[in-house]
Copies of this chain bind each other. A is one copy, B any other.
Amino acid sequence: QKFCSQCATEISYITPPDDNRLRAVCQSCGAVHYQNPRNVVGVLPIFNDKILLCRRAISPRYNKWTLPAGFMELGETTAQGAMRETQEEAGAQIELGPLYTVINVPHAEQVHFFYLAKVLSPELAPGPESLEAGFFSPETIPWDELAFRTVITTLEHYLDDKKNGVFDSPHKKPPVHHYDVPLPMHDF
């Protein structure tokens, strides 16, 4: 940020008197332009024991496979955002299930939320952000071609929980897995 978005004055990076970190401050109109982490919201969509994945048509990770997910927008809940992203990226009809993973990705300044979801029909209509969308049995998941580590760990938790019978009690909510993604290896 170089200029004040309210009055177009050049920004000063200073620590305000009542604060303890550098902020983008406008010394003309007094505005403090805060920056905060963003939420990525998505779903783990299941249809007859198969998992719906989309192949990305956008950067980053063009051509890699992902769960439907994207940035949470103003005015929506995490659940509404997750449903919207599923519609936009896969064109899938779903019934949203419980919140399943909440994963901090501090080096990307993001928090990722994935909900379980039941796909209601095999018909898909991937949008412009996806090259294609398709269903994968656990054995055919393209592990080496997945876009993000939060997608990998969310899928791993799901397959573990399924193996361990976590979803076998129809009236019991599954646990919410919450954890942090460690720094990428290239930072070491």
Please give the count of copies of this chain that the complex contains. 2
A131 → chain B closest CB, angstroms: 15
**Contacts of A24 on B, CB cut-off 8 Å?**
5
Enumerate A1-33 residues with CB–CB distance to B below 8 Å.
1-8, 11, 18, 20-21, 24, 33
Whether A162 sits at the interface, judged by CB under 8 Å, is: no
Q: A44 CB to closest chain B CB, in angstroms?
A: 15
A123 to B154, CA, bound (A): 40
Chain A contact residue count (CB 8 A cutoff): 45
Within 8 A of B (CB), among A54-84: 71-80
* Chain B residue contacts of A78, Cβ below 8 A: 102, 104, 111
A residues within 8 Å of B by Cβ?
1-8, 11, 18, 20-21, 24, 33-39, 71-80, 88, 98-99, 102, 104, 106-107, 109, 111, 128, 173, 175-176, 178, 180
